[in-house]
Copies of this chain bind each other. A is one copy, B any other.
Amino acid sequence: MRIVVDAHGGDHAPLEIIKGCCMAAEEQKDISILLVGRKNELQQVITENGLPAKRIEIVDAPDILTMEDEPSSVLKEKQYSSMAVAFRLLKEDKADAFVSAGNSGALLVGATLLIKRIPGIKRAALATIIPSAEGPYVMLDCGANVECKPEYLDQFATMGSIYAKSCLKIENPRVALLNNGTEECKGTDLHQKAFQLLKKNPFIHFTGNIEGRDVPLGGCDVVVADGFSGNIALKLSEGWGKFMSLSLRDLLTKKAKSKLAALLIMGQIRELRKKMDYKEYGGAPLLGVTKPVIKAHGSSDAKALKNAIRQAHIFAESNMILEIEKSLAKE
């Protein structure tokens, strides 16, 4: 199994990316990594930091694609960037999956136009794994498509459900539509029409609408959303997670007796932090394209990247894409 990784994507590239690759190669003996970026620079970082770059091969890519670059530049001006070169390796079957913490828009453009959508899939969706009180759930779309049609949401539901089954090992995942009320008549015209399609979708176990209030408390495995409200919900959850973490820190460090309290419940705090930590869950798979592409969080550190590689590995080993194709054939 070969995973290609964009060395220059994300806020902590390339050091944390390389460290993450080393950790992944150490943990998963059956993978090798193609690390794409400026060869000399990457080699120097590895040497200077004494990193054990076992089963990691560097592929040279002289350009850097930044967060400010237009998404389409991955196809044109920046076709020698680490992201563009990585996409070509994936396309030419020189790698089985691709992980990048870089420019999301460019990743979407590259995946859609170079790797291509699965025939019949109308839009690719960014699926994110988000912690809840009950455990993680998948939400999609989280921002690849701000304007949606009911049919897109119907396909997102099928793809999200297959992902939850194949990669998260959830049997018969509960699929719900993010809406402003539980009643069938709720939401915009888009959501009302999507509800009717989801009700009839034979590939999912549809449990109806879910309100924002019930999402963090669990009770659902796949949350289907239009890319605009999905993005708001995802980022709001990140913000609340951070707020929670800061409040907890304040609570347990401000006074001498708070520190004593912290000592007493250290184990449970660690457990809670782990449950809440998006880094544990890897990145966001881009569903609907013909190969596994994982968007790691822009602020990924080595651990987050290692987990995104693990997730890419699971994705590439699963029959996910085949299952999506099957669902389309039966339609």
Contacts and interface: CB of A to CB of B under 8 A. Distances in A.
Interface of A: 132-133, 143, 146-147, 178, 180, 187-189, 191, 211-217, 227-229, 231-240, 242-244, 246-247, 250-252, 254-255, 257-258, 260-262, 264-265, 268-269, 272
The A interface, classified by DSSP as helix, strand, loop or mixed, is: helix
Contacts of A268: 250-251, 254-255, 258
12 contacts: A143-B180, A146-B187, A147-B188, A178-B232, A180-B232, A212-B238, A213-B235, A213-B236, A213-B239, A216-B236, A232-B232, A250-B268
Residue among A213, A215, A250 with the highest chain B CB neighbour number at 10 A? A213
Most chain B beta-carbon contacts within 10 A, residue among A146, A189, A228, A236:
A236
A235 B260 contact: no
Number of copies: 2
B247 A272 contact: yes
A235 B261 contact: no
Nearest to A142: B180
Interface centre among A132, A235, A252 (most CB of B within 10 A): A235
Contact of A239 (B214, B234, B250): B214
A191 B234 CA distance: 18
A239 B265 contact: no
A233 B231 contact: no
Contact of A252 (B212, B243, B250, B265): B265
A182 to B, nearest CB: 11
